[in-house]
Chain A
């Protein structure tokens, strides 16, 4: 990497990788004020101030991932290209993607499986409206819609079967109505009315679920109302102060934003927290960040993070969502649940936050969350290490975890994923770079004797002040060297992270050519990481073969987070489904088998994707009958009418 300025790297990443900058109104503070929501005050029209329009389909795909203007496609010449202007990769040609794609999946650019171009409105069942409820809502001044496009958009997450059905134009049960609250009291009103009229509510944040959590339960006979939280994004900011607390080894600057009467709020929910959307930008402009960066962060919502126990890429520095949350306010059919103070830790019985974290929309709607924030890192640096094989890589990560010196992010891609990442290399502009690449390759494979079919790469991201980052970097590279690892440059590292942001777009490309796939994840003790990865991959290959998949499938694995006691492992799995009658069913059976394999090998049911309806059947096995009973009794107390009837988790 040529970048020599520390902060420019950080800025660049913020600006460009996710980089879909939107023009903001000149006076942001004014818009904050406009949005400020006092319970007794009538709502103004806040939508103009929020980054996500109510009609999301205007900027986002109705049957695929992300923004309508950004997609992968193969040009007439057979070259892959990523359209749009939002991403670092946008507008670039990816010369090696085609060969990799055809070679790996046995796919062919002649064999296309295009999606239905537009939503067939007649396929959407007419809404089953609860008229008294609708009237009461309207009387309360809430914005509602039963437009089919709005409803279809909120009827799904991004599981393979959901997207596949949309591409084929098949529409199942969809919510009967969408309602957009814009503040806490709106939500209170909606929940109260829902209880009164016995209507089923399904909270909807970013719509990035991969656990069938947003699917409308087939057995639900009541009117289903999708509660879209996207218009609630406002940040209350009056005063910023810094608390300093001293730990044994380092000084932490824990910062909170105050609002109103001494309370510090980051307003609830959705999309609002993505990198370039308003609150994040506002935070950044004040020199702060939350540090929570899940791969779906452009789209997913704060409420969603809380409701699924999300995990971010940089959790090593900032922690997972449960570590970041200081205070939560949730509206339930029983009333509002929250703690009375912002104490950093309390011994007041089981932490009530943990009933909310991971409740997956079954108990209520999260309306306000107070998060810790941290000063923006002064310096950011990517890095990568090549290992001769996956075993050595895992051993290295384990040692890094043992010494507790993991950088903000450290991920280990297996050989297949490394090759995948390589296929996404943009066209090299200069002869010199391509010469350098060749030289690097020669050095690693010939001089160091790494087998290109076995080597694997760890990608690293360091954050902090410059001096410490450099020191930290040296420490990590020294450990890596003990396990045969060679530093392989910033570029490889950066490309690794890019992969996770564009992978969902790539799936849409695959689906245009008979290739389907998805990701799933688990967490597992260190001593089982290798065995789990190998067994799950082998199980996938075997199951595909037994179920008549004609082409060898591609399972990829990545150790994506490290903990003291284990790691989070992420799998991608895709195959070419030509020749299969019911590819989605085959895919689901294989994923089911893979999950069984994970559980049999000591992996958890989920590390951060959640349970939803997709993994419900294993809940009892995972948390014991008594554990499940505890959760059920909470649900029974909080929501006896099953108003939050998405039937996730339990």
Chain B
């Protein structure tokens, strides 16, 4: 905790955020066609090297970098350079975008129609747009949106077109390409496609990185990609990937660009289009077959109300200022720059750190709706709540969230009960409301004969859908919640003990949540600071003491983490009890799911979230990281070798914190406290 002095917490309430404008407002009053065909004159980068999409290809293929790698690959493989060059050219054809304004105009027209049907409003912070307009002119820009839905990049391009900003080129996964027509349409609206994994393929990597860098260096267009790599099925931010980040930063490291601006963009949805799809995917329920009925269902998507959507353009982050004092650019002086170099350990650490920080910025700028609070509460009360107490607790939670710096969009001048009923209405398909009592439940017409397993899965879909809303606010409560759990499981009130527990939990959950590696002291300080401000804790020199009024908040915070603690315990119990020598990595998820299902059916487990494959994967990653499980390659299969003693002790440590968090105990204790007053 030596770095205490380095960390000065700013009051989260003071975080200034821009206000929003609804962009659909105007679309509802004027012709979409005229809008799609309007004159588009984007602001341009001052150092732009004008070049057509077709010219890009030859620039990339002729680049020193690619030529070097082609020669290298050819001498290693024995193929002729022409042959390798041909291969490179094919890779580039498969990858390259073919941005066309006409396709974009088509999308603008259809999306205008679609957005108006889907959303009540699409809100954008126009100050962010203005900042972007400025940034685009000065230095090449990289757009880093969060990724929750397929809508994300369609919306990004739509918005940039709308505000006369240069249209981005977007790194997209190859899976889109399989959708024949759609893939080509996306290509023509600026998407370029990359294979999901190309680990050892030098040539592929060279073509890909040179392609991105060339566009960046020439200021061809803003590069857009998703730090999280894929859509988050849980609405929690995913651990960021650093590969593409390295590619877009390298032109700066090597002095080819004076600076690069990174613009984190937070896209949040009041109701996610893919909501139940994701839940099904997490539960391993096969997708409904593509059929007429599927198509009809898809049409139903268009007829439903998805509330509002929010796009928040963050402040541009200059790579130059980020690297100051962290990266010695002269390390690139001794090799010609066209020769690819693996990032040094320093650089790697920097990239990782930056990626985490950017994701945290994204998280911080995500708009949270009242429903997020309600979902949090309903999940903690599986037996349902009375509307009145829901209203009361939601109001309490609202203040707590605001105190922790949540970006909450709570309607002005509306009674709490009104706000709640609106939210409930929008998400009615997850709820049953009767006689003033709200409960999460399956609302789809119950099918005639359901097995108990099916019933569990139906309920689990609802729970996981609901959890995806709670997950949106987790980043606000995460650090204090880790501290709350740590305080319960620590042997004493001594600061060191609590910190050690905190650190343990942090390590355990570092695949689950966005926790910058190496920031554990800072996170601890932040948690202490927030809880101290709230009057929950008193942090003395060597001790952390709970205040008299603090119990309810701590109990609430620890129940926030409860599903995860329980889920990880389920996984560890599975690893200890059920595994044999030849558990392959592939079998792991279905096997754990079955194990959890059995526990639920037997009434020994109430936590449906333990069924989520995301949680199971993260738990496995944690055990692997903590060396309680090892991967062993046998033939072409990877098997998991479990160190049962280690897993057991991890489970014990996790279990300690579990004792107190009985469902809803925090609220009753608060009620009692209030009565006492």
Q: Which residues of A contact B (CB under 8 A)?
A: 525, 527-528, 531-532, 534-535, 538-539, 599-602, 621
Contacts A527-B336, A527-B337; A535 near B330 (Cβ below 8 A): no
The reply to whether the CB of B255 lies closer than 8 angstroms to some CB of chain A is yes
User: B249 CB to closest chain A CB, in angstroms?
Assistant: 14
14 contacts between A and B (CB under 8 A): A525-B336, A527-B336, A528-B337, A534-B258, A535-B258, A538-B258, A539-B258, A599-B330, A600-B255, A600-B328, A602-B255, A602-B330, A602-B332, A621-B330
B258, B329, B336, B337 pick with most chain A CB within 10 angstroms: B258
B58-69 CB mask vs A (1 if < 8 Å, else 0) is: 000000100000
Known: A538-B258, A539-B258. 8 other contacts (CB 8 A): A527-B337, A527-B338, A531-B255, A534-B258, A535-B255, A600-B328, A601-B255, A601-B329
Q: Complex Cα distance A599/B332, Å?
A: 11
User: B183 CB to closest chain A CB, in angstroms?
Assistant: 37
Enumerate chain A residues within 8 angstroms of B258, measured Cβ to Cβ.
Answer: 534-535, 538-539
The reply to whether the CB of B256 lies closer than 8 angstroms to some CB of chain A is yes
Q: Are B255 and A532 in contact (CB under 8 A)?
A: yes
Interface size bucket, B side? Answer: 10 to 19
Q: Name the CB-closest residue of A to B336.
A: A527
User: B316 CB to closest chain A CB, in angstroms?
Assistant: 15
Q: For chain B, residues 240 to 258, give those with C-beta under 8 angstroms from any C-beta of chain A.
A: 255-256, 258
User: B333 CB to closest chain A CB, in angstroms?
Assistant: 4
B255, B329, B336 pick with most chain A CB within 10 angstroms: B255
Q: Complex Cα distance A534/B258, Å?
A: 8
Enumerate chain A residues within 8 angstroms of B330, measured Cβ to Cβ.
Answer: 599-600, 602, 621
Q: Complex Cα distance A532/B254, Å?
A: 10
Q: Complex Cα distance A600/B330, Å?
A: 5
Main secondary structure of the interface of A (DSSP, over half): helix
User: A164 CB to closest chain B CB, in angstroms?
Assistant: 29
User: A535 CB to closest chain B CB, in angstroms?
Assistant: 5
User: A624 CB to closest chain B CB, in angstroms?
Assistant: 12
User: B217 CB to closest chain A CB, in angstroms?
Assistant: 10
Enumerate chain B residues within 8 angstroms of A599, measured Cβ to Cβ.
Answer: 330
Q: Complex Cα distance A528/B336, Å?
A: 9
User: B347 CB to closest chain A CB, in angstroms?
Assistant: 14
Q: Name the CB-closest residue of B to A599.
A: B330
User: A467 CB to closest chain B CB, in angstroms?
Assistant: 39
User: A622 CB to closest chain B CB, in angstroms?
Assistant: 10
Q: Name the CB-closest residue of B to A531.
A: B255
Q: Complex Cα distance A599/B256, Å?
A: 14
Enumerate chain A residues within 8 angstroms of B332, measured Cβ to Cβ.
Answer: 602
Enumerate chain B residues within 8 angstroms of A600, measured Cβ to Cβ.
Answer: 255, 328-330
Q: Complex Cα distance A538/B328, Å?
A: 19
Q: Complex Cα distance A539/B258, Å?
A: 8
Enumerate chain A residues within 8 angstroms of B256, measured Cβ to Cβ.
Answer: 531
User: B321 CB to closest chain A CB, in angstroms?
Assistant: 11
Q: Complex Cα distance A151/B421, Å?
A: 90
Q: Complex Cα distance A531/B336, Å?
A: 13
Q: Name the 9 nearest CB pairs between A and B, nearest first.
A: A600-B329, A601-B255, A602-B333, A538-B258, A531-B255, A535-B258, A531-B256, A600-B330, A599-B330
Enumerate chain A residues within 8 angstroms of B338, measured Cβ to Cβ.
Answer: 527
Q: Complex Cα distance A534/B332, Å?
A: 18
Q: Complex Cα distance A528/B255, Å?
A: 8
Q: For chain B, residues 323 to 343, give those with C-beta under 8 angstroms from any C-beta of chain A.
A: 328-330, 332-333, 336-338
Q: Complex Cα distance A621/B330, Å?
A: 10
User: B254 CB to closest chain A CB, in angstroms?
Assistant: 8
Q: Complex Cα distance A532/B257, Å?
A: 10
Enumerate chain B residues within 8 angstroms of A602, measured Cβ to Cβ.
Answer: 255, 330, 332-333
Enumerate chain B residues within 8 angstroms of A527, measured Cβ to Cβ.
Answer: 64, 336-338
Q: Complex Cα distance A601/B330, Å?
A: 7
Q: Name the CB-closest residue of B to A391.
A: B49
Enumerate chain B residues within 8 angstroms of A601, measured Cβ to Cβ.
Answer: 255, 329
Q: Name the CB-closest residue of B to A537.
A: B258
Enumerate chain B residues within 8 angstroms of A534, measured Cβ to Cβ.
Answer: 258
Q: Complex Cα distance A374/B330, Å?
A: 40
User: B45 CB to closest chain A CB, in angstroms?
Assistant: 13
Q: Name the CB-closest residue of A to B323.
A: A600
User: A125 CB to closest chain B CB, in angstroms?
Assistant: 40
Q: Complex Cα distance A257/B81, Å?
A: 58
Enumerate chain B residues within 8 angstroms of A621, measured Cβ to Cβ.
Answer: 330
Q: Name the CB-closest residue of B to A539.
A: B258
Q: Name the CB-closest residue of B to A604.
A: B333
Q: Complex Cα distance A466/B64, Å?
A: 40
User: B47 CB to closest chain A CB, in angstroms?
Assistant: 8
Q: Complex Cα distance A602/B254, Å?
A: 9
Q: Complex Cα distance A601/B333, Å?
A: 7
Q: Name the CB-closest residue of A to B217.
A: A531
Q: Complex Cα distance A525/B338, Å?
A: 13
User: A469 CB to closest chain B CB, in angstroms?
Assistant: 35
Q: Complex Cα distance A531/B258, Å?
A: 8
Q: Complex Cα distance A538/B47, Å?
A: 12
User: B646 CB to closest chain A CB, in angstroms?
Assistant: 44
Q: Name the CB-closest residue of A to B327.
A: A600
Q: Complex Cα distance A600/B256, Å?
A: 11
Q: Complex Cα distance A532/B258, Å?
A: 9
User: A547 CB to closest chain B CB, in angstroms?
Assistant: 16
Q: Complex Cα distance A599/B338, Å?
A: 19
Enumerate chain A residues within 8 angstroms of B336, measured Cβ to Cβ.
Answer: 525, 527
Q: Complex Cα distance A318/B323, Å?
A: 43
Q: Complex Cα distance A538/B333, Å?
A: 20
Q: Name the CB-closest residue of B to A542.
A: B258
Enumerate chain B residues within 8 angstroms of A531, measured Cβ to Cβ.
Answer: 255-256
Q: Name the CB-closest residue of B to A534.
A: B258
User: B379 CB to closest chain A CB, in angstroms?
Assistant: 50
Enumerate chain A residues within 8 angstroms of B337, measured Cβ to Cβ.
Answer: 527-528
Enumerate chain B residues within 8 angstroms of A528, measured Cβ to Cβ.
Answer: 255, 337
Q: Complex Cα distance A535/B338, Å?
A: 19
Q: Complex Cα distance A77/B514, Å?
A: 70
Q: Complex Cα distance A600/B258, Å?
A: 11
Q: Name the CB-closest residue of B to A622.
A: B330
A539, A601, A621 pick with most chain B CB within 10 angstroms: A601
Q: For chain B, residues 38 to 69, give those with C-beta under 8 angstroms from any C-beta of chain A.
A: 64
Q: Complex Cα distance A621/B331, Å?
A: 11
B64, B332, B338 pick with most chain A CB within 10 angstroms: B332
User: A284 CB to closest chain B CB, in angstroms?
Assistant: 43
Q: Complex Cα distance A538/B258, Å?
A: 7
User: B63 CB to closest chain A CB, in angstroms?
Assistant: 12
Q: Complex Cα distance A601/B255, Å?
A: 5
User: B384 CB to closest chain A CB, in angstroms?
Assistant: 59
User: A334 CB to closest chain B CB, in angstroms?
Assistant: 36
User: A322 CB to closest chain B CB, in angstroms?
Assistant: 23
Enumerate chain A residues within 8 angstroms of B328, measured Cβ to Cβ.
Answer: 600
User: A594 CB to closest chain B CB, in angstroms?
Assistant: 13
Q: Name the CB-closest residue of A to B251.
A: A531
User: B664 CB to closest chain A CB, in angstroms?
Assistant: 55
Q: Complex Cα distance A532/B333, Å?
A: 12
Q: Complex Cα distance A535/B254, Å?
A: 11
Q: Complex Cα distance A527/B333, Å?
A: 11
Enumerate chain B residues within 8 angstroms of A532, measured Cβ to Cβ.
Answer: 255
User: B439 CB to closest chain A CB, in angstroms?
Assistant: 59
Enumerate chain A residues within 8 angstroms of B333, measured Cβ to Cβ.
Answer: 602
Q: Name the CB-closest residue of A to B338.
A: A527
User: A25 CB to closest chain B CB, in angstroms?
Assistant: 54
Q: For chain B, residues 318 to 364, give those with C-beta under 8 angstroms from any C-beta of chain A.
A: 328-330, 332-333, 336-338
User: B332 CB to closest chain A CB, in angstroms?
Assistant: 7
Q: Name the CB-closest residue of A to B331.
A: A600
A528, A532, A599 pick with most chain B CB within 10 angstroms: A528
